[in-house]
Amino acid sequence: MRFRTATMLAAALAMGGPGLALAATAPAAAATVPAKVVETQAALRDLWLGHIFWVRNVVEARLEDNASAAKTAEQQVVDNAKAIAGAIEPYYGKAASEKLFGLLAGHWGAISAYLDATHAGKKADQDAAFKKLVDNAGEISTFLGGANPHLPVETLRGLLTAHGAHHVEQIKQLKAGQYEQEAATWAAMTKHMYVIADALAGGIAKQFPDKFR
């Protein structure tokens, strides 16, 4: 499973090349980016960082069998997903926001299932949860790419699949007590959240230029 996940992560990062290139050049071009675009990037970065922050809290709590802490963190994960979905409502409407929330719930459900399977040492369940995570990345990508021609489906699929693989690596590392490796994974996850947030903000700004002037 470790080899498979590493392979998926490498492939996903390759597929997400255009988005990664955009993130790498963004600081140099910041002076030419409209203020409203920068504000939207910052807001989306905060939301996506909140996602990985609270998921990590759930992982630690469940691995420690701390039901109270897990319950609080799980509610924060759900609230954060609602906020991420709500961020697209001004552009695509309430129905689209609700659809995205449902898809993000699927993302969280797959992560939760993978965590439980890892904690219980059930490899078959791990594999099934990982497949759901990858499939869900495709569903989110198809939805967002279908709504916005400036968000290529395959680029999104690569970015979101890599994001899911980061969650998987983090869960395995925390389960194994590999804290130095997990610290490196966390650093990669945070940078990757910037890539996803900036890609979404940029795509929305291109589709609705009048809202960003």
DSSP-assigned letters across all residues of 186-208: HHHHHHHHHHHHHHHHHHHHHH-
* pLDDT tens digit sequence for 56-101: 999 999 999 999 999 999 999 999 999 999 999 999 999 999 999 9
Judged against a pLDDT cut of 50, whether residue 17 lies above it is answered with no
Give the per-residue pLDDT at 31. 53
Q: How many Å apart are CA 164 and CA 160, to the nearest integer?
A: 6
Residue 124 neighbours by CB distance under 10 Å: 8
Please report, for the chain, the start and end positions of each structural domain, with discontinuous segments joined by +: 2-212
Extract the tokens encoding 135. Answer: 């499939």
